[in-house]
Amino acid sequence: MEIIPLLLLTLICTTLLLGYPVAFTLAGVSILFALICVPLGIFDPTIFKSIPIRIFGIMNNVTLLAVPLFIFMGTILEKSGVAAKMLENMAKAFKGIRGGLSVSIIIVGALLAASTGIVGATVVTMGLMSLPILISQGYEKSFSTGLVASTGTLGQIIPPSIALVLLGDVMSSAYQRAQNNMGIFSQQTVTVGDLFIGAIVPGIMICVGYLIYTIYKNGNNKNIKVYLNGQSVEKIELLKTLALPIILIFLVLGSIFAGIATPTEAAAIGAFGALVIALINKKINLSFLKETSEKTAIVSTMIFTILIGASIFSLIFRGVGGDELIDLIFNSIPGGNYTALIFVLIIIFLLGFILDFIEICYVIVPFVAPPLLMMGFDPVWLAILFAINLQTSFLTPPFGFSLFYLRGVADESIQTNEIYRGVMPFIFIQLLILAIVVMFPTIII
In the chain, how long is the greatest CA-to-CA distance? 78
In a domain, 218, yes or no: yes
In a domain, 50, yes or no: no
In a domain, 396, yes or no: yes
Return all residues near 276 (Cβ < 8 A) that are at least 6 apart.
Answer: none
CA–CA distance, 102 with 91 (Å, rounded to integer): 8
In a domain, 114, yes or no: yes
In a domain, 306, yes or no: yes
In a domain, 308, yes or no: yes
In a domain, 271, yes or no: yes
DSSP 189: -
Domain encompassing residue 242: 63-312+319-443
CA–CA distance, 96 with 226 (Å, rounded to integer): 8
Task: Report pLDDT for 107.
Answer: 85
Task: Report pLDDT for 392.
Answer: 84
**What is the number of alpha carbons within 13 Å of residue 418 lying toward its C-beta?**
17
One digit per residue, the tens of pLDDT, for the chain of length 445 reads: 668 888 888 888 788 778 777 788 888 999 999 999 888 888 888 888 888 988 888 888 887 888 888 888 878 877 777 777 777 777 777 766 777 788 888 888 888 777 766 666 667 777 777 788 788 878 888 888 889 888 888 888 888 888 888 888 889 888 988 888 888 777 788 888 889 899 999 999 999 999 999 988 887 777 776 665 556 666 777 777 788 888 888 888 888 888 888 888 888 988 898 888 888 878 788 888 898 899 888 888 887 888 888 888 888 888 888 878 877 887 788 877 888 899 899 888 887 776 777 778 888 888 889 889 988 899 999 999 999 988 887 788 766 777 777 877 777 788 888 888 889 999 999 999 999 999 999 888 6
Task: Report pLDDT for 399.
Answer: 65
Closest CA to 135 of 143, 153, 151: 143
Distance of CA 298 to the CA centre of its chain: 18
Task: Report pLDDT for 434.
Answer: 93
In a domain, 3, yes or no: no
Domains held by the chain: number: 1
**What is the number of alpha carbons within 13 Å of residue 134 lying toward its C-beta?**
30
Task: Report pLDDT for 193.
Answer: 87
CA–CA distance, 89 with 201 (Å, rounded to integer): 26
